[in-house]
A and B are shown apart, each in its own frame.
Chain A
Amino acid sequence: MESEGNGGESTTRNLDDVLRSAEDWYIYLRKKHDGETIAWTVAMGVIAWLAALLILALSSFTLLHVFFASYLLEGITVITILAVAVSLLTYFIRRRRAFPFVELRNLIDKMKNASEISSYDYLKLVDQMHDVLLAVKKGKLDSAQGDGIVAFIVVALFGFNIGLGLLAGIIVYLYFRYEAIREYDNETRRYLEAKREFIEGL
């Protein structure tokens, strides 16, 4: 059957395309994930540091009725350690979430080094890509929290109103959360329906 001319050649070419596209897709996603991990690590560290500083300053003012410099300076060391801990925690949580990426990389490497690859292997590859895609869509739920926090900070700072900031933060968070869940569900449905249609079409 393999020697059936154009049909066989184009099938092989199509399968090669699938592997090449999978690798490009993986590289793009991995870079994106790594970039976002760095951004999240830095942002969470800075937010934790600023929030702790604000609490420290307010507590010194409430307790001592004056901004006490030495109290603040001693506290800064503690909050810096806290911020670094938050950053590291964020980094490791995101690294753990990169697990499907590692599996996909291993599968691509295995297929690239294999002497013969079957459509069964390609099916596994597409399934793995689908898992990674779902992990990415799920990750957008975290981004929704980040977007909510940013909206809260911006509105609270520029509107001088914490209540309004809170409301804006919640609305932004709920909107992006809704979008993330919708995308996740759509992708799951699309893939399952495509599989079902293929089998029914046989």
Chain B
Amino acid sequence: MRACEIKLEKPDMYVLARFLDVLYRDGKPMKKTNLQSLIGIRYPRFIEYLDWMMTKGLVQKLDEGDSELYVLSPKGAEAYHRLVDWLRDMMKGMKI
């Protein structure tokens, strides 16, 4: 986990937004492969982001039988709302 944090010193906001969007909108636990195809980034990069988000407590892993499923945690849902607020605030701050 520590290695992932070092690798993702500057996470891309677009990728984070994509993660939050996909998990927030669907709301259901998702398999890694489904999540990756919806986010649309290469697998090694996807794993780095997924690990980073889990380290931050934004995504939770659910062990259901032999499959691993991922879902947005309450902290992740809050992060999504914060992202929307951030977008609105940034727009308000754009003064000519």
Taking Cβ atoms with an 8 Å cutoff, the residues of A that contact B are 1-4, 7, 11, 14-15, 17-18, 21-22, 25, 28-29, 32, 118-120, 122-124, 126, 129-130, 133, 136, 190-191, 194-195, 198-199, 201-202
Contacts and interface: CB of A to CB of B under 8 A. Distances in A.
B96 A120 contact: no
A51 B64 CA distance: 82
Given A11-B81, A118-B17, 8 more contacts: A1-B80, A2-B25, A3-B27, A17-B88, A21-B92, A22-B91, A119-B20, A199-B16
A123 B84 CA distance: 9
B50 to A, nearest CB: 14
Contacts of B35: none
Contacts of A190: 93
A14 B88 contact: yes
* Residue from B21, B80, B91 having most chain A Cβ neighbours under 10 A: B91
9 closest Cβ contacts across the A-B interface?
A1-B27, A118-B21, A120-B17, A1-B24, A14-B84, A11-B84, A122-B87, A123-B17, A119-B17
17 contacts: A1-B80, A2-B27, A14-B87, A18-B87, A28-B96, A118-B21, A119-B17, A120-B17, A122-B84, A124-B14, A126-B91, A133-B94, A191-B90, A194-B93, A195-B13, A198-B82, A202-B79
